[in-house]
Amino acid sequence: MTGMAGTETAETGTSTDAAQAAVRPAVKCLVWDLDNTLWQGTLLENDELALRPGVLETLKALDERGILQSVASRNEYDDAWPRLESLGVAGYFVLPHIGWGRKSDAVRAVAEQLNFAQDTLAFIDDQHTERAEVAYHLPDVRCYDAPEAAGLPDLPDFAPTVTTDARRRRAMYQEKFRREAAQSDFNGPDEDFLRTLDMRMRIARAHEDDLARVEELTLRTSQMNATGVHYSDADLRALLTDPDHEVLITTVEDRFGSHGAVGVALLERQPGRWRLKLLATSCRVVNFGIGTQVLRWIADQATRAGVHLEADFRRTERNRIMEVAYRFAGFGSKPCACQDGSEPAAGAPADVQRLHLVPQRQAAPTTLTASGPALWSGDGADRPWA
């Protein structure tokens, strides 16, 4: 059958597949079964194992697109993992779940560990019963039959925007897991641990070659996304050339490596008022408070410029953390005279709230160093946050 979004019941209707693909998010992680799916043969039966035709090409293609891959297999870990290593593919997988529990529990655990919504995961298995079990417990997960493995890269669900950061996504998550292991071993407050990371945050004006990643952030980010509104490449190019707008991109690195571009802010500058149309940061940096720090940096810039701040916010099913960040920063719903005559952002959903803040100077963070363009200054030079 053609892979469906969490169902094994629809055997026909490719137009339905196309319609679903047009509205559902791209797959962020594919979870593989092993026996007779990733490889031909059954490990426990001592078969001579070989990768299924086309699987290696699929592993490489998805990895290059930034789609993570994991494992949910009923086998002994100490037997299965060495086989993956001997086949030369172990390095493609993160958070493998190899044991004797339910496949749905394994897929759910992968989603939770990656902090991904279940509708961004896919599962592939040769057994109809296993796919049905996952589909029943996790109806938002897309399920595929093993013979479909070679054709997955051709499906719209597996065709995200490919950026420089996307090509490093697996490496960045592996670095993330090493950070988490270091934090688990650290004996002390979280803030003290963050100081050991030597984090450097840089906010910069985006250039044309950054726009693919900026668009990707507006598409992929859900928990730390203030509106959930997607800005297309054309939208972003128009803003990039508009003197009243700033398209700002945030990058972070630390002693474990580069997090890449993890945040985007779209800022409209008007006399007496700046409007933050969108703030979105990657779920990878939620625990480091990067979204909050970007928000504080913008508030500090607005204070230096002598303007009020307005922010678009739209509540979604997953962005409660962002709402807390805005409220904690002091944004409120009470209107201000500075908003008189201002119009909602073009194309903004009707349920977007327009929050307001009279900003104050913000002290530089103690857990990282930060720099960015002086938006309040005529030269706009890059300066440390101090």
Please write the tens of the pLDDT for every residue from 50-94. 999 999 999 999 999 999 999 999 999 999 999 999 999 999 999
Q: Is 139 helix (H, G, I), strand (E, B) or coil?
A: coil
Reference 122, options 37, 188, 15; nearest CA is 37
Q: What percentage of the chain has pLDDT greater than the value 70?
A: 92
Residue 386 pLDDT grade (very low, low, confident, very high; cuts 50, 70, 90): confident
Q: Report pLDDT for 347.
A: 58
Q: Report pLDDT for 20.
A: 53
Residue 216 pLDDT grade (very low, low, confident, very high; cuts 50, 70, 90): confident
Q: Report pLDDT for 75.
A: 96
Average of per-residue pLDDT values in the chain? 90
What is the pTM (predicted TM-score) of this model? 0.75
- Extract long-range pairs of 54-63: CB within 8 Å, 24+ residues apart: 54/149, 54/150, 54/151, 55/149, 55/150, 56/89, 57/150, 57/153, 58/149, 58/150, 58/152, 58/153, 59/89, 59/92, 61/153, 62/30, 62/152, 62/153, 62/158, 63/92, 63/170
Q: Report pLDDT for 133.
A: 98
Distance between CA 99 and CA 106 in Å, rounded?
9
pLDDT above 50 for 16 = no
Q: Report pLDDT for 283.
A: 83
Q: What's the pLDDT tens digit per position in 305-328?
A: 999 999 999 988 888 888 899 999
Residue 237 pLDDT grade (very low, low, confident, very high; cuts 50, 70, 90): very high
Residues 117-138, mean pLDDT to the nearest whole number: 97
Distance between CA 263 and CA 241 in Å, rounded?
20
Q: Report pLDDT for 343.
A: 65
Are 53 and 85 in contact by the 8 Å Cβ rule? The answer is: no
Reference 356, options 375, 379, 322, 333; nearest CA is 333
Q: Report pLDDT for 2.
A: 42
More confident call, 12 vs 202: 202
Q: Report pLDDT for 192.
A: 96
More confident call, 149 vs 5: 149
Reference 327, options 306, 308, 351, 355; nearest CA is 355
The residue with tokens 């800005």 is: 231
Least confident interval from 48-62, 86-100, 207-221, 357-371 = 207-221
Reference 240, options 271, 273, 204, 272; nearest CA is 204
Residues 31-54, mean pLDDT to the nearest whole number: 95
Least confident interval from 18-32, 169-183, 329-343 = 18-32
Distance between CA 354 and CA 331 in Å, rounded?
9
Q: Report pLDDT for 14.
A: 43
Q: Is 373 helix (H, G, I), strand (E, B) or coil?
A: strand
pLDDT above 90 for 346 = no
